[in-house]
Structure 1
Amino acid sequence: MLLLQLFLSYLKIGFFGFGGGYAMLSLIQNEVVVRHAWMTNAQFADIVAVSQITPGPIAINSATYVGYTVGAQMGPAYGVAGSLVATFAVCLPSLTLMILVARFFLRLKNNRLVEGAMRGMRPVVIGMIAAAALLLIFPHSDAPGDRNFIDAWSWLLFGGVLAGSWRKVNPILMIVLSAAAGIAIYYPY
């Protein structure tokens, strides 16, 4: 039953998650943390962090990780099954739509209705990305021990990385320096 719920949740995320992985984060958070309470906001934030640093799309990486975590609640053998179910479910809508749309896209590419629909979805995608960021910064959960992971050091690191981005500092260097700062600041905790 849990694997079916996992499949249906990620199928819904796959169908309605327009705009890529970051836009899907608010949908994933709503299903995983709010609706089913499979994990806390802090655990979800960890999943987002791990999904960002591993190769591949964030939605697929997070689906694999969440699926494994949820499946493992049923027993160690179900972790892999959960990751396969969630990953397949989040990919299925895109695969299906691409097979159906690919045939007609070249003919419809310059259609006014299609162009209007694409133009109309852009602000929604920006809003969904902003909603995901706000959910990670200001979690609204009543779970005990589920607190905001943002503190003064986090804002200081964010400001440093933002300044480094404006000054065109190498992103790999910023990641390494941020990791070193995180270890120096948070290791005793």
Structure 2
Amino acid sequence: MKRLLIMFFSFFKIGSFTFGGGYAMIPLIEAEVVSKKKWLSKEDFLDIVVISQTFPGALVVNCSLFIGYRIGGPLGAIIGLLGVVLPSFFIILCIAVFFMKFRQYYYVNLIFKGISAAVPVLVLIAVVSLSKSLKKNYANFIVILLSIVSILFFKVHPVIVILLSGLYGVIFLGKKVK
């Protein structure tokens, strides 16, 4: 039970101080569960992130469910979920109640502009961190390149790219895994 409480407060801390959504939280979650607490290996964490992206819903919610389940079973999944969701719930509730009263203030606007400028950097850190555990080979490079080109230039929906990448893995990489 102590481990589950530690996990709850770890996710609660991450959920409380990370702006920008799931991708901005990924490096912080990785640092906590892989590097600091050593609950998961880097490879297991990457697998959880990939699986979480393929399920409907918010990435960080799915990650917290899978990580929590891995650490503490069904109760761990619920505790992980609550840990990451409750801070956002309380913050949004406070913003909804008080934000409109303070939105016109100059410094409040500057704070939000500063936060929004940091979010793309956090997403970039997540990409760099996740790419470190990816095998460096031509097949992965081609999948990455085709995914980027499809999404940016041909406006293919990311879900289609994920499904096609998964299909590629089953057809072409399934024979190599034993």
Deviation at 1:111, TM superposition (A): 1.8
- Equivalent in the alignment of 2:173: 186
- Equivalent in the alignment of 1:58: 59
CA distance in 2, matches of 1:172, 1:93: 28
CA distance in 1, matches of 2:93, 2:150: 41
- Equivalent in the alignment of 2:92: 98
- Equivalent in the alignment of 2:145: 159
Percent of aligned pairs sharing the same letter: 31
CA contact (8 A) 2:54 2:159 kept: no
Deviation at 1:150, TM superposition (A): 4.2
- Equivalent in the alignment of 1:145: none
Deviation at 1:167, TM superposition (A): 2.0
Distance 1:138 1:184, change over 3 A: same
Instruction: Tell me if 1:26 matches 2:20.
Output: no
- Equivalent in the alignment of 2:109: 115
Tell me which protein shows more helix as a share of its residues.
Answer: 2
Runs of 5+ unmatched residues, structure 1: 72-78, 140-147
Instruction: Tell me if 1:88 matches 2:82.
Output: yes
Task: Tell me which amino acid in the other structure corresponds to 1:156.
Answer: I
Distance 1:173 1:84, change over 3 A: closer
- Equivalent in the alignment of 1:132: 126
Q: Which range is displaced more, 166-175 or 43-52?
A: 166-175
Q: Could you say what the CA RMSD is over the residues aligned between the two structures, in angstroms?
A: 1.5
Deviation at 1:161, TM superposition (A): 1.5
CA distance in 1, matches of 2:159, 2:93: 36
CA distance in 2, matches of 1:86, 1:175: 25
Distance 1:171 1:15, change over 3 A: closer
1:11-40 CA-to-partner distances (Å, cap 9, x unmatched) read: 111111211000000011001100011111
Provide TM-score, normalisation by structure 2: 0.91
Deviation at 1:174, TM superposition (A): 3.0
Distance 1:172 1:36, change over 3 A: closer
Runs of 5+ unmatched residues, structure 2: none
Deviation at 1:109, TM superposition (A): 2.0
CA distance in 2, matches of 1:134, 1:171: 19
1:91-112 CA-to-partner distances (Å, cap 9, x unmatched) read: 1111112222211111222221
CA distance in 1, matches of 2:88, 2:157: 33
| Secondary structure, counterpart of 2:29 in structure 1 | helix
Deviation at 1:172, TM superposition (A): 4.5
CA contact (8 A) 2:14 2:29 kept: yes
